[in-house]
Amino acid sequence: MRLLLNIIWLVLCGFWMALGYLLAGVVCCILIITIPFGLASFRIANYALWPFGRTVVDRRDAGVGSALGNVIWFIFAGLWLAIGHILTGVALCVTIIGIPLGLANFKLVPVSLMPLGKEIVDLP
């Protein structure tokens, strides 16, 4: 079932979302001081490409730098990304077939708000 949902997700919205996160990651990596944000964006792009069967967990070794970086990310990018995921999720939940895809969009909201200090792991 996860494979089927991931394929539908990839075709309908995952590819475009991942492409957007990849573009943001490349821009962040070009500006040297924002490389940590670029790496986080690449991590989210990977997750946005294939979200079913995976989840986000906190990293134990994340410290104050991650918290400070998350505040900066929230102000400049996180809030807008989260609003986009919420609006897309609501639009997808209008149809019965789109409900699992809408829920996957809602699952991306926390990591789009504060991506630093997070890790994406496979579910058993």
pLDDT at 59: 85
Q: What percent of the chain has pLDDT over 90?
A: 37
pLDDT in tens, 112-123: 999 988 888 998
- Measured between alpha carbons, how far apart are the two ends of the chain, in Å? 14
Q: Tell me, what's the pLDDT at 60?
A: 83
Q: Which helix (H) or strand (E) holds 79?
A: helix 79-92
Q: Does residue 106 surpass a pLDDT of 90?
A: yes
CA distance linking residue 89 with residue 11, whole number of Å:
16
Please tell me the total number of residues recorded for the chain in this structure. 124
pLDDT (0 to 100) of residue 83: 92
